[in-house]
Amino acid sequence: MKSKQSGFTLVEIAIVLVIVGLLLGGVLKGQELITSGKAKALYADKSAIQTAYNTYNDRFRAIPGDDLTASARFSGQACGVAGQGTSSAVTLGLTCLNGDGSNTLTNIGQGTKLTAASAAAITSGATNEAFKFWQHLRAAQLIKTEGSGTGEAFMQPINAGGGWTAINSVFIYEGQAPSTLYFTQYGVPGNIASAVDGANDDGFSNRGGIRAISNGTAVRPNTDTVGTPYPAAAQAVSMNLL
C-alpha cells in the first residue's frame, strides 16, 4: 500500500516567494526613503544656516562670530551655556564673546568637534570665531540649542547624519569655488553623502559644488578625469554657504 506524501504545491511556493519579494522590496524602499529623507534634511541645514546668517547680518550689520559688540548686544542670559542661560553656567558662558570685527571668521580647528561639559569647548570657543559663530546665532535665537552642557553655546549643531556641522572661511578641499563661508557636515554616512550630492550636485565626491573627503584624503577636483563615487565610510561633506 502506497503512503500518501504531503508538501507544498507549486502554486503555494510561488505565492510565498511573491510575498517574500514584496516584503524585501518594502524594506529596501523604506531604507531608500530614510536615506533620501536624511539627505534632504542635511541639505536643508545649509539653507537654515544661510537664513540665520543673513538675518543676523541684516538685523545687526555684523557677522555672527565676528560681531565686535555681541557682549553688549545680548544679555548674559541669552549668551548662557546653552544659548539660554542656566544657573550652572561658567563665567565664559555667561557673556557673549566678541569677535574682532574684521568682517571674516577665523577658522582655527574648524574640523574639531566640541563636546558639552568640556573645558576645551570653553577655551576653543573663547578664542575661535568659527565657534563664536554658533554662540551669537543662539543668543539671537536664530538657531536652536542642542543641550545644556558646559560649552554648549559654542558647540556645532548635530546634523541629520549623526555627525556635526562646522563653518569656516577658507576652502577645505582643493577646487572648491571661492566663497565667503564654507559649510561642512562631518560624520555623514557614505550613502547619505552620496544622496545629498546626487540630488543637489553631480554625485561625485571630487567634482562640482559639493565636495568630500574620499577614503580619508581630501580629493583634488577639476584635475581628475574620472569622478570619484562616495565610499561607504563616513564622510565630511563641504559646500559653499555664501
* CA nearest to 108, candidates 174, 21, 69, 166: 166
Measured distance CA(149)–CA(141) in Å, rounded: 18
Facing residues of 238 across strands? 184, 211
Task: Express as a percent the part of the chain with pLDDT over 70.
Answer: 69
Per the listing, cell 533620501 goes with 36
pTM comes to 0.77
pLDDT of residue 34: 73
**133-160 per-position pLDDT tens digit:** 988 998 898 987 665 565 677 778 888 8
**212-241 per-position pLDDT tens digit:** 865 445 545 555 667 778 878 777 888 888
**91-134 per-position pLDDT tens digit:** 445 678 889 999 888 776 666 777 666 666 666 677 788 888 98
Measured distance CA(7)–CA(24) in Å, rounded: 25
Measured distance CA(97)–CA(88) in Å, rounded: 18
Measured distance CA(111)–CA(12) in Å, rounded: 57
Residue 187 is given by DSSP the state E
CB 212 within 8 A of CB 230: yes
What is the architecture, at CATH level 2, of domain 35-240?
Answer: 2-Layer Sandwich (3.30)
If you average pLDDT over every residue of the chain, what do you get?
Answer: 76
How far, in Å, are 66, 99, 121 from residue 128 at the CA level? Answer: 10, 9, 10
Facing residues of 165 across strands? 185
Domain boundaries, the chain: 35-240
Q: Beta-carbon neighbour count of residue 233 at 10 Å?
A: 12
Q: Beta-carbon neighbour count of residue 176 at 10 Å?
A: 19
| Cell numbers that stand for 17 in this block | 516567494
